């Protein structure tokens, strides 16, 4: 073994030991969280656990730490896993796939492919220019933001595995069916012509080739920092509002207006969700508090989906490649899917 190899092996061992230590600290912090705030809020500060102030303050600090830990852990793991996947590989897998099978694959790949909506336009051109059908491309573009790691981390932490799987399943179905419908109406008529004229030149490189474990871990750390830096204000406002609703809102305030008895609750939830684009972080603590107050799960899932999947800035970006007719159809199809999910779950889970 050369000196260089020995040094390399040493730092590799250190890296895995470091990862294991970080995981142990994470688990310990997650387990101790509730005891820490029980002690600090109720024993040290002397607030009454049954009082509105006591339960609200406890809810705020406990939830902030819990959600922060979940986001850190899940974003890191997801980023490292996704570093084995790339948009280039996804496109190669989707090339030449028929509609149907292609839509199912595209929705699934939308979940596992590292992708941000800021790349929606170059990815759209890249897919279409390589011969991936419009409907299949749309399934990818719907699934990718809808089933994202922030939403999954928060759902898992606040509602548990059941509602999380429900959300992921429903999101995939909306993406698959939505893409098939857009393919069926021959949406390619409404794509800006330059997309089809784009010729791919040169050799396409796979951006993940040559990544080492050290690179992947660094990407994970950077992603955690960059996402948390972006969303923490929304998160704290959301948890604060959640704590206020939790402690102070009258029990029947929300169920009276948006309960299972009101057939318009789902469409109103979707309409309210659209302007809150991409702020899953701020919305989910609110959703949890509203759920505690008795709002039905279907209405809340529809609200969440509208928040993450119908994003105004993404539509404005996509206008560069899609004509207004297609943008409108896209929004209508996705909104219809979300409404169906809301009504269905309200009926099934009631």
Binding of residue 33 to another protein (CB under 8 A): no
What is the contact mask toward another protein in residues 153 to 192, using x (rule: CB under 8 A)?
----------------------------------------
203 binds another protein (CB under 8 A): yes
Question: Closer to another protein at the Cβ: 121 or 241?
Answer: 121
Size of the site for another protein (CB under 8 A): 31
Both tokens assigned to 242: 């959640």
Residue 6 is a binding residue for another protein (CB under 8 A): no
Is residue 331 within 8 Å of 315, Cβ to Cβ? yes
Can you tell me which of 53, 165, 200, 214 binds another protein, judged by CB under 8 A?
200
Q: Rule CB under 8 A: choose which of 219, 305, 307, 309 binds another protein.
A: 219
Backbone CA torsion sign across 167, 71, 231, 63: positive
Residues 99-128 contacting another protein, CB under 8 A: 114-116, 118-119, 121-123, 125-127
State the Cα–Cα distance between residues 295 and 76, nearest whole angstrom.
32
Give the DSSP letter string of 191-224.
B-THHHHPPP-SPPPPTTTT--HHHHHHHHHHHH
Q: Which of 12, 27, 36, 204 binds another protein (CB under 8 A)?
A: 204
Confirm or reject binding of residue 13 to another protein (CB under 8 A).
no
Smaller CB separation from another protein, 87 or 270:
87
What's phi and psi for 246, nearest 5 deg? -55, -45
What residues contact residue 203 under an 8 Å CB cut-off, 6+ apart?
A: none
Instruction: Tell me how far apart the alpha carbons of residues 343 and 262 are, in angstroms, rounded to a whole number.
Output: 11
Report how far residue 284's alpha carbon sits from residue 104's, in angstroms, rounded to the nearest whole number.
Answer: 27
> Which of 350, 340, 329 lies closest to 305, judged by CA?
340
Rule CB under 8 A: is residue 145 a binding residue for another protein?
Answer: no
Picking from 248, 348, 264, 253, the residue whose alpha carbon sits closest to that of residue 294 is 253
Sequence-ordered list of residues with C-beta below 8 angstroms from that of 135, at least 6 positions apart, any chain: 99, 102, 103, 179, 180, 181, 182, 183, 184, 187
Does 87 help bind another protein (rule: CB under 8 A)?
Answer: yes
Q: What is the rounded distance in angstroms from the CA atom of residue 177 to the CA atom of residue 179? A: 5
Footprint of another protein on residues 292-331 (CB under 8 A)? 320-321
The span of 39-47, 86-94, 104-112, 341-349 binding another protein (CB under 8 A) equals 86-94
Rule CB under 8 A: say whether 141 interacts with another protein. Answer: no
Q: Which of 201, 229, 250, 263 binds another protein (CB under 8 A)?
A: 201
Which of 20, 28, 34, 205 is close enough to bind another protein by CB under 8 A? Answer: 205
76 is a site residue for another protein (CB under 8 A): no
According to the binding rule CB under 8 A, does residue 150 interact with another protein? no
Min CB(218)–another protein separation in Å:
9
Q: Is 227 in the site for another protein (CB under 8 A)?
A: no
- Which residue in the block uniquely carries the two structure tokens 């220019």? 129
Rank residues 36 and 205 by Cβ distance to another protein and give the closer one: 205
- Closer Cβ to another protein, 126 or 238, answer by number: 126
Nearer to another protein, 221 or 291 (CB): 221
Which of residues 19, 65, 129, 268 is near another protein by CB under 8 A? 129
DSSP-derived secondary structure for 109-170: HHHHS---GGGHHHHHHHHHHTT--HHHHHHHHHHHHHT-HHHHHHHHHHH-HHHHHHHHHH
Instruction: Provide the binding-site residues for another protein, judged by CB under 8 A.
Output: 86-88, 91, 114-116, 118-119, 121-123, 125-127, 129, 194-195, 197-205, 207, 219, 320-321
């Amino acid at each position: 073994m050369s000196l260089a190899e020995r040094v390399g092996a040493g730092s590799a061992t250190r890296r895995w030991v470091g990862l294991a230590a970080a995981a142990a600290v994470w688990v310990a912090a997650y387990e101790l969280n509730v005891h820490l705030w029980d002690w600090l809020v109720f024993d040290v500060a002397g607030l009454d656990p049954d009082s509105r102030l006591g339960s609200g303050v406890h809810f705020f600090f406990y939830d902030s730490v819990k959600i922060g830990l979940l986001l850190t852990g899940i974003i890191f793991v997801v980023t490292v896993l996704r570093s084995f996947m790339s948009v280039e590989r996804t496109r190669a897998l989707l090339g030449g796939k028929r509609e149907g099978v292609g839509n199912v694959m595209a929705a699934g790949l939308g979940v596992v492919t590292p992708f941000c909506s800021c790349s929606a336009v170059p990815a759209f051109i890249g897919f279409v220019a390589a011969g991936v059908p419009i409907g299949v491309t749309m399934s990818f573009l719907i699934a990718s933001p809808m089933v994202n790691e922030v939403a999954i981390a928060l759902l898992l932490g606040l509602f548990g595995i059941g509602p999380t799987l429900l959300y992921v399943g429903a999101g995939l179905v909306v993406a698959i069916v939505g893409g098939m419908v857009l393919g069926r109406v021959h949406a390619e008529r409404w794509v800006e012509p330059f997309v089809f004229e784009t010729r791919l030149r040169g050799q396409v490189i796979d951006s993940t080739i040559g990544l080492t474990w050290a690179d992947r871990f660094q990407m994970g750390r950077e992603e955690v920092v960059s996402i948390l830096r972006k969303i923490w204000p929304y998160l704290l406002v959301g948890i604060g509002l959640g704590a206020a609703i939790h402690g102070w809102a009258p029990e029947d305030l929300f169920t009276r207006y948006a309960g299972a008895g009101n057939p318009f609750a789902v469409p109103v939830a979707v309409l309210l969700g659209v302007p809150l684009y991409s702020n899953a972080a701020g919305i989910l603590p609110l959703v949890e508090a509203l759920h505690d107050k008795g709002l039905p799960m279907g209405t809340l899932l529809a609200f969440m989906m509208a928040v993450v999947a119908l994003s105004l800035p993404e539509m404005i970006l996509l206008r560069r490649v899609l004509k207004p007719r297609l943008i409108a159809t896209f929004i209508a199809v996705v909104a219809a899917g979300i409404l169906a999910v809301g009504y269905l779950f309200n009926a099934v889970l009631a």
